[in-house]
């Protein structure tokens, strides 16, 4: 798990360095025009970052500054923003087959992480 965490952290830093996370931020925020759009944008942003990084904590931290900007700009309750960040990052973390949880379970059971996916519905 430690090796996987180090590799994922390195990949995330490479994504930041080469503009991948910034690209996601620009694409998501360019379509926001209302309060509901801001909420959808926050949800989409943290979901895409979680898919890209396979780590819900990192996706929340990376999406936080943009989520705060959208929260202030569209008068979204900060508690709702925090809930959206948590819910969507956790839900997507539970369905990506390359997440830490899937890899640990798959290695213990000696099966493919993809074989577990049909049974991973709790997070959603």
- Averaged pLDDT score across all residues of the chain: 85
| pLDDT bucket at 1, cuts 50 / 70 / 90 | low
Determine the pLDDT at residue 82: 96
Residue 54: closest CA among 85, 22, 92: 92
CB atoms within 10 A of CB 27: 13
pTM (2 decimals)? 0.76
* pLDDT digits 0-9 by tens, 29-74: 788 889 999 999 999 999 988 988 888 888 888 888 889 889 998 9
């Amino acid at each position: 798990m430690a090796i996987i965490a180090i590799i994922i952290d390195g990949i995330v830093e490479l994504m930041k360095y080469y503009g991948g996370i910034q690209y996601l931020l620009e694409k998501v925020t360019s379509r926001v025009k209302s309060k509901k759009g801001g909420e959808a944008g926050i949800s989409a942003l943290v979901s895409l970052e979680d898919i890209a990084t396979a780590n819900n904590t990192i996706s929340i931290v990376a999406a936080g500054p943009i989520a705060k900007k959208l929260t202030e700009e569209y008068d979204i309750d900060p508690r709702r923003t925090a809930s959206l960040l948590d819910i969507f990052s956790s839900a997507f973390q539970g369905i990506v087959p390359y997440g830490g949880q899937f890899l640990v379970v798959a290695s213990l059971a000696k099966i493919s992480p993809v074989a577990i996916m049909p049974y991973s519905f709790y997070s959603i």
